[in-house]
Structure 1
């Protein structure tokens, strides 16, 4: 515990700022607030620089992609709000596991290629974990933008791996954030299920 507190004391203000913004993103996303995407964009901008200097190149690239996805997510959620105002179901996409399996294999193949390239042509550390978490995080974030409830199952696995990855790279505060993320993901799963049930009930009444 003493070593943990010492590591936290050495955490930079930039990492703490990115951490708090990332936490705000997940809380707002759990409540389906469109402002979650703004929090994500600012947090990812900070993490882009931090991860690059730590030679987590795929994680740095991931943060850049997150910024673009934050713009897409903002637009997509705004579009769904307009659908709701037009009395069109705003529940978002629902995909069966039969739809997911081919995508999982494709993402895994892309991650393997990225890991091999990083291992042979860069001085990247943890190229395999870095690549797999990056590729699957992008896929899971796309599902968030679609408001697909299955996204939270992906985040349970991804965030558990991130706890280890950030801990070994010295981002102690961020590793602890992802422990909290695991709990918030469970909350988000419950919250989205409740909101979906409520939305379905309202649509049935309007119908």
Structure 2
């Protein structure tokens, strides 16, 4: 199965594009579209998406991104449960703004994650882009945590990560994935607007 996923599906921008990247593209778009609408099926589809992207990133040598997908599977399972039962009295969660204390905790976690991952990738792996890989990984983890709790500002963290991911994936020759993240960036803006309306409603 892994061999087939790593085989060439098509050529995009003069670069061989694997089945894992093509399928990751499709499931990623559907996943974020469902997330914008706060649809519960974003979670199982998201788990499938990150498993596909794990294969893509491993083949491209983006080791932090590959490892991040494992964490995403765990967070996906948690988020699926939390959206159904994590609210007050085990009811479904409602969208809300991030508190000041939560922002401080997220900022501290972001600095520690970025610094730790940067050192690890720079000294112990063959990563060619250790700082960018570490920073995008940290931002993505923080955004996914915010998503599991339906924190409105998770969209800002996703937007920041996507702005870095787009040129990073282009640099690594993952053009289809770079295009996917342009679409993600657009969907993040739509998600921010939709969730903001939910908070104000």
Using the size of structure 1 for normalisation, the TM-score is: 0.84
Unaligned runs of 5+ in 1: 199-207
| 2:30 corresponds to 1:30 | no
- Distance of 2:44 and 2:93 partners within structure 1: 21
Q: Which is worse superposed, 175-184 or 91-100?
A: 91-100
Q: Flag the structure with higher strand content.
A: 2
2:199 maps to what in 1? 196
| 1:139 maps to 2:142 | yes
Would you say the 8 A contact 1:149–1:192 is kept in 2? Answer: yes
Q: Which runs of 4+ in 1 moved over 6 A?
A: none
Deviation at 1:103, TM superposition (A): 2.5
- Counterpart of 1:16 (choices 19, 22, 28) is 22
Q: Which has the higher contact order (CA 8 A, sep 6+)?
A: 1
Query: 104, 108, 113: which is aligned to 1:110?
Result: 113
Q: Which residue of 1 aligns with 2:179?
A: 176
Per-residue Cα deviation, 1:159-204 (whole angstroms, up to 9, x for no partner) = 1100011111111011011111111111111111223333xxxxxx
Gaps of 5+ in 2: 1-10
Q: Deviations over 1:66-94 (max 9, x none)?
A: 1111101100111158969x6xx842453
Matched residue, 1:120: 123
| Bigger Cα Rg | 1
Residue 31 and residue 60 in structure 1: after superposition, are their counterparts in 2 closer, same or farther (change >3 A)?
same
* Distance (whole Å) between structure 2 residues aligned to residue 83 and residue 99 of structure 1: 21
In 2: Cα distance, 1:173 partner to 1:134 partner:
19
What TM-score results when the alignment is normalised by the length of structure 2? Answer: 0.86
Quick one: structure 1 residues 17 and 8, their matched pair in 2 at CA, closer, same or farther if it must change by over 3 Å?
Answer: farther
- Superposed CA deviations along residues 50-81 of structure 1, whole A, max 9, x for unmatched, are 21121111000011111111101100111158
Q: How many residues get paired?
A: 191
Query: 2:190 aligned with 1:187, yes or no?
Result: yes
Alpha-carbon distance in structure 1 between the residues aligned to 2:14 and 2:149: 35
